[in-house]
Amino acid sequence: MGSILSGAEAASLVRALPGVDAVGLEARAAGLATRSVKTTSKARAIDLAISMIDLTTLEGADTPGKVRSLAAKAVRPDGDAPSTAAVCVYPSMVATAKEALRGTGVKVASVATGFPAGQVPLDVRLADTEAAVRAGADEIDMVINRGAFLAGDLERVFHEIKAVKAASGDARLKVILETGELATYDAVRQASWLAMHAGADFIKTSTGKVGVNATLPVTLLMMQAVRDFRAATGVQVGVKPAGGIRNTKDAIKYLVAVNETLGDDWLSNEWFRFGASSLLNDLLMQRQKLKTGRYSGPDYVTVD
Protein backbone atom coordinates (compact mmCIF):
# COMPACT_ATOMS: atom_id res chain seq x y z
CA MET A 1 0.00 0.00 0.00
CA GLY A 2 1.57 3.25 -1.01
CA SER A 3 1.32 6.36 1.08
CA ILE A 4 -0.80 9.20 -0.19
CA LEU A 5 1.38 11.69 1.66
CA SER A 6 4.36 13.56 0.35
CA GLY A 7 7.56 13.35 2.36
CA ALA A 8 7.15 16.91 3.54
CA GLU A 9 3.57 16.28 4.66
CA ALA A 10 4.54 13.13 6.53
CA ALA A 11 7.46 14.89 8.17
CA SER A 12 5.34 17.80 9.35
CA LEU A 13 2.59 15.51 10.66
CA VAL A 14 5.17 13.56 12.59
CA ARG A 15 6.79 16.65 14.04
CA ALA A 16 3.40 17.82 15.33
CA LEU A 17 2.79 14.70 17.40
CA PRO A 18 2.18 15.24 21.12
CA GLY A 19 5.14 14.59 23.38
CA VAL A 20 5.77 11.58 25.54
CA ASP A 21 6.42 11.87 29.24
CA ALA A 22 9.09 9.28 29.90
CA VAL A 23 8.36 8.74 33.58
CA GLY A 24 4.62 8.41 33.02
CA LEU A 25 5.11 5.97 30.17
CA GLU A 26 7.49 3.84 32.23
CA ALA A 27 5.12 3.93 35.20
CA ARG A 28 2.28 2.65 33.01
CA ALA A 29 4.49 -0.11 31.64
CA ALA A 30 5.53 -1.05 35.17
CA GLY A 31 1.86 -1.12 36.16
CA LEU A 32 1.03 -3.49 33.33
CA ALA A 33 3.96 -5.64 34.37
CA THR A 34 2.38 -6.28 37.77
CA ARG A 35 -0.50 -8.24 36.24
CA SER A 36 -0.49 -11.74 37.58
CA VAL A 37 -1.31 -14.29 34.88
CA LYS A 38 -1.90 -17.71 36.37
CA THR A 39 -3.16 -21.22 35.62
CA THR A 40 -5.48 -21.42 32.61
CA SER A 41 -4.69 -17.88 31.49
CA LYS A 42 -1.02 -18.63 31.69
CA ALA A 43 -1.41 -21.77 29.57
CA ARG A 44 -3.23 -19.76 26.94
CA ALA A 45 -0.68 -16.97 27.09
CA ILE A 46 2.22 -19.38 26.65
CA ASP A 47 0.74 -20.96 23.54
CA LEU A 48 -0.17 -17.58 22.16
CA ALA A 49 3.36 -16.33 22.76
CA ILE A 50 4.86 -19.39 21.05
CA SER A 51 2.65 -18.79 18.04
CA MET A 52 3.87 -15.20 17.85
CA ILE A 53 7.58 -15.92 17.77
CA ASP A 54 9.74 -15.06 14.79
CA LEU A 55 12.32 -17.70 15.63
CA THR A 56 15.48 -15.94 14.73
CA THR A 57 19.06 -16.69 13.83
CA LEU A 58 21.14 -13.80 12.58
CA GLU A 59 24.75 -14.75 12.88
CA GLY A 60 27.75 -14.68 10.61
CA ALA A 61 28.10 -18.36 11.41
CA ASP A 62 24.62 -19.33 10.17
CA THR A 63 24.67 -22.36 7.89
CA PRO A 64 21.94 -24.23 5.99
CA GLY A 65 22.14 -26.94 8.65
CA LYS A 66 21.53 -24.51 11.45
CA VAL A 67 18.62 -22.94 9.57
CA ARG A 68 17.02 -26.33 8.86
CA SER A 69 17.34 -27.24 12.51
CA LEU A 70 15.67 -24.01 13.49
CA ALA A 71 12.91 -24.48 10.92
CA ALA A 72 12.11 -27.91 12.29
CA LYS A 73 11.88 -26.47 15.76
CA ALA A 74 9.63 -23.67 14.52
CA VAL A 75 7.19 -26.10 12.95
CA ARG A 76 7.01 -28.49 15.86
CA PRO A 77 8.57 -26.94 18.94
CA ASP A 78 7.52 -29.57 21.47
CA GLY A 79 4.71 -32.11 21.54
CA ASP A 80 1.41 -30.42 20.93
CA ALA A 81 2.82 -26.92 21.24
CA PRO A 82 1.82 -24.64 18.37
CA SER A 83 4.20 -23.66 15.60
CA THR A 84 5.94 -20.35 15.75
CA ALA A 85 4.88 -17.56 13.40
CA ALA A 86 8.01 -17.44 11.30
CA VAL A 87 11.67 -18.17 11.02
CA CYS A 88 13.76 -15.05 10.62
CA VAL A 89 17.07 -15.28 8.77
CA TYR A 90 19.54 -13.35 6.61
CA PRO A 91 18.68 -13.10 2.89
CA SER A 92 21.30 -15.71 1.98
CA MET A 93 19.42 -18.27 4.09
CA VAL A 94 15.93 -17.51 2.78
CA ALA A 95 15.94 -20.23 0.12
CA THR A 96 17.00 -22.87 2.64
CA ALA A 97 14.35 -21.75 5.12
CA LYS A 98 11.69 -21.61 2.44
CA GLU A 99 12.46 -25.15 1.40
CA ALA A 100 12.39 -26.41 4.99
CA LEU A 101 9.10 -24.71 5.77
CA ARG A 102 7.20 -25.41 2.60
CA GLY A 103 3.61 -26.36 3.34
CA THR A 104 3.90 -25.83 7.09
CA GLY A 105 2.25 -22.44 7.40
CA VAL A 106 5.34 -21.08 9.15
CA LYS A 107 6.48 -17.97 7.35
CA VAL A 108 9.95 -17.04 6.20
CA ALA A 109 11.03 -13.61 7.33
CA SER A 110 14.23 -12.08 6.07
CA VAL A 111 16.13 -9.15 7.41
CA ALA A 112 17.26 -6.95 4.55
CA THR A 113 18.41 -3.44 3.65
CA GLY A 114 21.97 -3.92 4.89
CA PHE A 115 20.94 -5.26 8.26
CA PRO A 116 21.72 -4.31 11.00
CA ALA A 117 23.31 -0.88 10.40
CA GLY A 118 21.71 -0.10 7.05
CA GLN A 119 24.77 2.01 6.28
CA VAL A 120 25.00 1.04 2.62
CA PRO A 121 23.74 2.90 -0.44
CA LEU A 122 20.00 2.78 -1.02
CA ASP A 123 20.33 0.84 -4.27
CA VAL A 124 22.25 -1.87 -2.41
CA ARG A 125 19.53 -1.97 0.26
CA LEU A 126 16.84 -2.28 -2.38
CA ALA A 127 18.75 -5.00 -4.20
CA ASP A 128 19.12 -6.83 -0.88
CA THR A 129 15.38 -6.64 -0.40
CA GLU A 130 14.53 -7.76 -3.91
CA ALA A 131 16.89 -10.71 -3.58
CA ALA A 132 15.22 -11.84 -0.36
CA VAL A 133 11.78 -11.57 -1.91
CA ARG A 134 12.91 -13.46 -4.99
CA ALA A 135 14.31 -16.22 -2.79
CA GLY A 136 10.84 -16.63 -1.27
CA ALA A 137 10.69 -14.39 1.79
CA ASP A 138 7.12 -13.84 3.01
CA GLU A 139 8.17 -10.98 5.21
CA ILE A 140 10.92 -8.38 5.07
CA ASP A 141 12.45 -6.89 8.21
CA MET A 142 14.10 -3.64 7.13
CA VAL A 143 16.12 -1.19 9.16
CA ILE A 144 15.49 2.53 8.95
CA ASN A 145 18.22 5.03 8.27
CA ARG A 146 18.87 6.15 11.86
CA GLY A 147 21.61 8.49 10.73
CA ALA A 148 19.19 10.39 8.51
CA PHE A 149 16.51 10.31 11.20
CA LEU A 150 18.81 11.71 13.89
CA ALA A 151 20.10 14.30 11.44
CA GLY A 152 16.51 15.48 11.09
CA ASP A 153 16.07 14.31 7.52
CA LEU A 154 12.68 12.72 8.08
CA GLU A 155 11.72 13.05 4.44
CA ARG A 156 14.64 10.91 3.40
CA VAL A 157 13.74 8.22 5.93
CA PHE A 158 10.16 8.32 4.65
CA HIS A 159 11.15 7.97 1.01
CA GLU A 160 13.54 5.13 1.74
CA ILE A 161 10.86 3.16 3.57
CA LYS A 162 8.48 3.75 0.66
CA ALA A 163 11.10 2.50 -1.75
CA VAL A 164 11.72 -0.64 0.31
CA LYS A 165 7.99 -1.18 0.57
CA ALA A 166 7.77 -1.08 -3.22
CA ALA A 167 10.71 -3.46 -3.53
CA SER A 168 9.07 -5.87 -1.09
CA GLY A 169 6.18 -6.56 -3.41
CA ASP A 170 3.69 -8.85 -1.70
CA ALA A 171 5.92 -9.54 1.29
CA ARG A 172 4.81 -7.89 4.51
CA LEU A 173 7.19 -5.17 5.56
CA LYS A 174 8.42 -4.89 9.14
CA VAL A 175 10.21 -1.63 9.76
CA ILE A 176 12.88 -1.81 12.44
CA LEU A 177 13.23 1.53 14.19
CA GLU A 178 16.24 0.49 16.28
CA THR A 179 14.78 2.29 19.24
CA GLY A 180 17.94 1.90 21.30
CA GLU A 181 19.67 4.24 18.88
CA LEU A 182 16.81 6.73 18.65
CA ALA A 183 17.41 7.32 22.35
CA THR A 184 14.24 9.20 23.26
CA TYR A 185 10.59 8.23 23.44
CA ASP A 186 9.62 11.28 21.41
CA ALA A 187 11.86 10.05 18.62
CA VAL A 188 10.38 6.54 18.86
CA ARG A 189 6.88 7.93 18.51
CA GLN A 190 7.91 10.05 15.52
CA ALA A 191 9.72 7.18 13.84
CA SER A 192 6.71 4.91 14.40
CA TRP A 193 4.35 7.31 12.67
CA LEU A 194 6.80 8.05 9.90
CA ALA A 195 7.15 4.35 9.17
CA MET A 196 3.39 3.82 9.24
CA HIS A 197 2.74 6.77 6.96
CA ALA A 198 5.34 5.31 4.57
CA GLY A 199 3.51 1.98 4.41
CA ALA A 200 4.94 -0.27 7.14
CA ASP A 201 2.90 -3.42 7.84
CA PHE A 202 4.68 -3.86 11.16
CA ILE A 203 6.81 -1.61 13.27
CA LYS A 204 9.58 -3.41 15.07
CA THR A 205 11.73 -2.20 17.94
CA SER A 206 15.20 -3.52 17.38
CA THR A 207 17.76 -5.49 15.46
CA GLY A 208 18.98 -7.25 18.57
CA LYS A 209 22.45 -6.04 17.63
CA VAL A 210 22.80 -2.93 19.79
CA GLY A 211 23.07 -2.37 23.54
CA VAL A 212 19.42 -1.59 24.21
CA ASN A 213 16.82 -3.71 22.50
CA ALA A 214 13.10 -4.09 23.11
CA THR A 215 11.84 -2.67 26.39
CA LEU A 216 8.27 -2.79 27.61
CA PRO A 217 7.86 1.01 27.72
CA VAL A 218 9.14 1.44 24.17
CA THR A 219 6.90 -1.34 22.92
CA LEU A 220 3.94 0.10 24.80
CA LEU A 221 4.60 3.43 23.12
CA MET A 222 4.63 1.73 19.73
CA MET A 223 1.38 -0.05 20.60
CA GLN A 224 -0.18 3.32 21.36
CA ALA A 225 1.10 4.53 18.00
CA VAL A 226 -0.50 1.70 16.01
CA ARG A 227 -3.72 2.11 17.97
CA ASP A 228 -3.83 5.82 17.20
CA PHE A 229 -2.75 5.30 13.58
CA ARG A 230 -5.65 2.94 12.98
CA ALA A 231 -8.04 5.38 14.64
CA ALA A 232 -6.73 8.14 12.37
CA THR A 233 -6.38 6.27 9.06
CA GLY A 234 -8.28 3.00 9.38
CA VAL A 235 -5.08 1.09 8.61
CA GLN A 236 -3.99 -1.56 11.08
CA VAL A 237 -0.25 -2.06 11.63
CA GLY A 238 1.45 -4.80 13.65
CA VAL A 239 4.05 -4.51 16.40
CA LYS A 240 7.15 -6.60 16.94
CA PRO A 241 9.41 -6.21 19.96
CA ALA A 242 12.74 -7.90 19.31
CA GLY A 243 15.84 -8.61 21.31
CA GLY A 244 16.14 -9.15 25.02
CA ILE A 245 12.85 -10.97 25.61
CA ARG A 246 14.21 -14.22 27.00
CA ASN A 247 11.66 -15.71 29.36
CA THR A 248 8.00 -16.46 29.78
CA LYS A 249 7.47 -13.87 32.46
CA ASP A 250 8.69 -11.11 30.16
CA ALA A 251 6.69 -12.37 27.18
CA ILE A 252 3.51 -12.41 29.25
CA LYS A 253 4.08 -8.80 30.26
CA TYR A 254 4.09 -7.88 26.58
CA LEU A 255 0.91 -9.85 25.97
CA VAL A 256 -0.77 -8.09 28.88
CA ALA A 257 0.25 -4.79 27.33
CA VAL A 258 -1.25 -5.83 23.99
CA ASN A 259 -4.37 -7.04 25.74
CA GLU A 260 -4.95 -3.82 27.63
CA THR A 261 -3.71 -1.35 25.03
CA LEU A 262 -4.85 -2.85 21.74
CA GLY A 263 -7.24 -5.64 22.66
CA ASP A 264 -8.38 -8.64 20.67
CA ASP A 265 -7.68 -7.14 17.25
CA TRP A 266 -3.95 -7.43 17.81
CA LEU A 267 -3.86 -10.64 19.86
CA SER A 268 -2.71 -12.97 17.08
CA ASN A 269 0.48 -13.52 15.15
CA GLU A 270 -1.03 -11.62 12.27
CA TRP A 271 -0.48 -8.41 14.27
CA PHE A 272 1.94 -9.13 17.06
CA ARG A 273 5.28 -10.91 16.99
CA PHE A 274 8.21 -11.55 19.25
CA GLY A 275 11.65 -11.42 17.63
CA ALA A 276 13.48 -13.93 19.77
CA SER A 277 15.58 -17.03 19.87
CA SER A 278 16.03 -18.25 23.45
CA LEU A 279 12.50 -17.25 24.51
CA LEU A 280 10.97 -20.32 22.85
CA ASN A 281 12.72 -22.83 25.09
CA ASP A 282 11.71 -21.01 28.24
CA LEU A 283 8.10 -20.96 27.08
CA LEU A 284 8.32 -24.68 26.39
CA MET A 285 9.74 -25.41 29.84
CA GLN A 286 7.00 -23.38 31.48
CA ARG A 287 4.49 -25.23 29.35
CA GLN A 288 5.81 -28.55 30.62
CA LYS A 289 5.68 -27.28 34.18
CA LEU A 290 2.02 -26.35 33.81
CA LYS A 291 1.21 -29.79 32.39
CA THR A 292 3.17 -31.91 34.85
CA GLY A 293 3.34 -29.68 37.92
CA ARG A 294 7.12 -30.22 37.99
CA TYR A 295 9.75 -27.66 37.09
CA SER A 296 11.47 -28.59 33.84
CA GLY A 297 15.13 -28.20 32.90
CA PRO A 298 17.16 -27.30 29.82
CA ASP A 299 17.82 -30.92 28.99
CA TYR A 300 14.11 -31.48 28.44
CA VAL A 301 13.81 -29.06 25.54
CA THR A 302 15.86 -29.24 22.38
CA VAL A 303 18.95 -27.20 21.57
CA ASP A 304 18.73 -26.23 17.92
Partner 1 sequence: MSEHERLRVKKTYKLYVGGKFPRSESGRSYPVSSPDGTELANAALASRKDARDAVAAARKAQRPWAGQTAYLRGQILYRAAEMLEGRAGQFAEELADATGADPREALGTVEQAIDRLVHYAGWTDKYTSVLGGANPVGGPYFNHTTPEPLGVVAVVAPQDDPLLGLIEAFAPAIATGNTAVVLASEAKPLPALSLGEVLATSDLPGGVVNLLSGKVSEVAPHLASHADVNGLDLGGVADAGLAAELEAAAAETLKVVRRPGRDGGALDLLRQWTEYKTVWHPAGMAAGAGGAY
Partner 2 sequence: MFEYAPAPESVRPDIKEHYGLFIGGEFVDAEDGAVFKSVNPSTEEALFTVAEAGEADVAKAVAAARRAHETVWGPMSGAERGKYLFRIARLLQEKAREFAVAESMDNGKPIKETRDFDVPTAAQHFFYHAGWADKLSYAGLGADPKPLGVVGQVIPWNFPLLMLAWKIAPALACGNTVVLKPAETTPLTALMFAELCQEAGLPAGVVNILPGAGATGSALVDSAVDKVAFTGSTAVGRAIAKAVAGSKKKVTLELGGKAANIVFDDAPIDQAVEGVVNGIFFNQGHVCCAGSRLLVQESVADEVLERLKARVETLRVGDPLDKNTDIGAINSAEQLSRIRALTETGEGEGADVWQPACDLPERGFWFRPTVFTGVQQSMRIAQEEIFGPVLSVLTFRTPDEAIAKANNTPYGLSAGVWTEKGSKILWAAERLRAGVVWANTFNQFDAASPFGGLKESGYGREGGRQGLEAYLDV
Per CB under 8 A, 25 contacts partner 2: yes
| Catalytic residue list contains 249 | no
Q: Which of residues 235-294 bind partner 2 (CB under 8 A)?
A: 255, 259-260, 263-264, 267
| Catalytic residue list contains 141 | yes
- Contact assessment for residue 110 and residue 140, using Cβ atoms and an 8 Å cutoff: yes
- Contact assessment for residue 56 and residue 88, using Cβ atoms and an 8 Å cutoff: yes
Per CB under 8 A, 42 contacts partner 2: yes
- Contact assessment for residue 221 and residue 25, using Cβ atoms and an 8 Å cutoff: yes
- Contact assessment for residue 279 and residue 247, using Cβ atoms and an 8 Å cutoff: yes
Min dist. Cβ of residue 31 to partner 1 (A): 12
Q: Which of residues 204-233 bind partner 1 (CB under 8 A)?
A: 211-212, 214-218
- Contact assessment for residue 201 and residue 237, using Cβ atoms and an 8 Å cutoff: yes
Residue 150 binds which of partner 2, partner 1, none (CB < 5-8 A, kind-dependent): none
Min dist. Cβ of residue 232 to partner 1 (A): 23
- CB neighbour burial string for 126-138, b if at least 16 within 10 angstroms, e if fewer: bbbbbbbbebbbb
Residues counted in the chain: 304
Residues 6+ apart with CB under 8 A from 3: 10, 158, 162, 197, 198, 199
Q: Which of 6, 8, 22, 292 binds partner 1 (CB under 8 A)?
A: 22
Per CB under 8 A, 122 contacts partner 1: no
**Distance separating alpha carbons of residues 276 and 289, to the nearest angstrom:** 21
Of 174, 240, 253, 304, which one is the catalytic site residue? 240
Per CB under 8 A, 21 contacts partner 2: yes
C-beta neighbour count of 203 within 10 angstroms = 29
Using the rule CB under 8 A, give the single segment among 30-38, 107-115, 140-148, 268-276 that binds partner 2: 30-38
| Catalytic residue list contains 42 | no
What is the set of active-site residues? Answer: 141, 204, 240
| Binding site residues, partner 2, CB under 8 A | 18-21, 23-25, 27-28, 34-42, 44-45, 48, 224, 255, 259-260, 263-264, 267
| Binding site residues, partner 1, CB under 8 A | 21-24, 26, 29-30, 33, 179-180, 182-185, 187-188, 211-212, 214-218, 244-245, 250, 253
